[in-house]
């Protein structure tokens, strides 16, 4: 990349902001257990698509903003998202060529890791252990993954983000 085409970092920022927005959008009480981890999904996609540019420190920053937005302990999401980004970067060459089903299962594992780390932090800071519904967002998230993947890929190709 010698002449440096338009890098269009703002697309990444905009998609992450949208994910953040979806995270705090008010939902009826019954729906709150089904809210997928939007920020984690978006980050996983960008780590897959642009592994050279989007990585752990993006995840860390996004996690920090997510912590401030949702009022959790500072660093909770920063920790879990940076670990997820690191895992994605390790696996990205394999994940990219996986068929959709296999890819979704891998993404599910990544989402579970994110939840597990958050649970550890909650436990370490003295929060009560949530019920099994705590894991529901990962399932919703993985069901949404093919859609997120296609939308973001089309967006990326359309806007020529490289």
Partner 1 sequence: MVAALLAIGLIVADHRYRHLDLFRSTLSVVVFPLHYLASLPDTLGRLMEGRLAREEELRARNEALRRENLVLAARLQQLEALEAENMRLRDLLGSAFKLGDRVLIAELMSVDLDPYRQQVLINKGAGSGVYLGQPVLDANAVMGQVVRVNPLSATVLLITDADHLLPVQVNRNGLRTVAAGTGYVNRLELPHLPKNADVQVGDLLVTSGLGGRFPSGYPVARVTEIRRESGEPFATVVAVPTARLDRTREVLLVWTLPTGSLNQALTDRARESPPEIVP
Closest CB to partner 1 among residues 68, 100: 68
Q: Tell me the closest approach of the beta carbon of residue 131 to partner 1, in angstroms.
A: 10
Q: Rule CB under 8 A: is residue 99 a binding residue for partner 1?
A: no
> Whose structure tokens read 């997120």?
148
**Cβ within 8 Å of residue 114, ≥6 positions away:** 37, 40, 80, 81, 83, 84, 138
Among 1, 4, 26, 52, binds partner 1 (CB under 8 A): 26
Q: Tell me the closest approach of the beta carbon of residue 37 to partner 1, in angstroms.
A: 12
In the structure encoding, which two tokens stand for residue 104, read together? 């979704």
Q: Which stretch binds partner 1 (CB under 8 A): 41-49, 102-110, 119-127, 154-162?
A: 119-127
In the structure encoding, which two tokens stand for residue 106, read together? 């891998």
DSSP structure string for 12-64: HHHHHHHHHHHHHS---GGGGGG---HHHHHHHHHHHH-TTTS-HHHHHHHHH
In the 8-state DSSP scheme, what is residue 72?
A: -
Closest CB to partner 1 among residues 71, 99: 71
Q: Rule CB under 8 A: is residue 90 a binding residue for partner 1?
A: no
Query: Binding residues for partner 1, per CB under 8 A?
Result: 17, 20-21, 23-27, 29, 32-33, 35, 56-57, 59-60, 63-65, 68-76, 78-79, 82-83, 86, 121-122, 124-128, 130, 134
């Amino acid at each position: 990349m010698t002449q440096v085409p338009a890098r269009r970092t703002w697309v990444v920022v905009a998609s992450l902001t949208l994910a953040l927005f979806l995270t705090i959008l008010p939902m009826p009480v019954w729906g709150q257990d089904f809210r997928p981890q939007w920020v984690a999904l978006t980050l996983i996609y960008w780590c897959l698509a642009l592994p050279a540019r989007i990585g752990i420190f993006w995840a860390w920053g996004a996690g920090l903003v997510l912590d401030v937005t949702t009022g959790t302990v500072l660093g909770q999401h920063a920790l879990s998202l940076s670990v997820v980004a690191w895992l994605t970067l390790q696996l990205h060459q394999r994940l990219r060529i996986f068929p959709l089903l296999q890819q979704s299962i891998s993404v599910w594992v990544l989402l579970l890791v994110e939840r597990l780390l958050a649970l550890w932090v909650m436990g370490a800071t003295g929060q009560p252990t949530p019920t099994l519904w705590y894991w529901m967002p990962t399932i919703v998230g993985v069901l949404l993954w093919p859609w997120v993947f296609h939308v973001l890929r089309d967006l990326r190709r359309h806007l020529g983000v490289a």
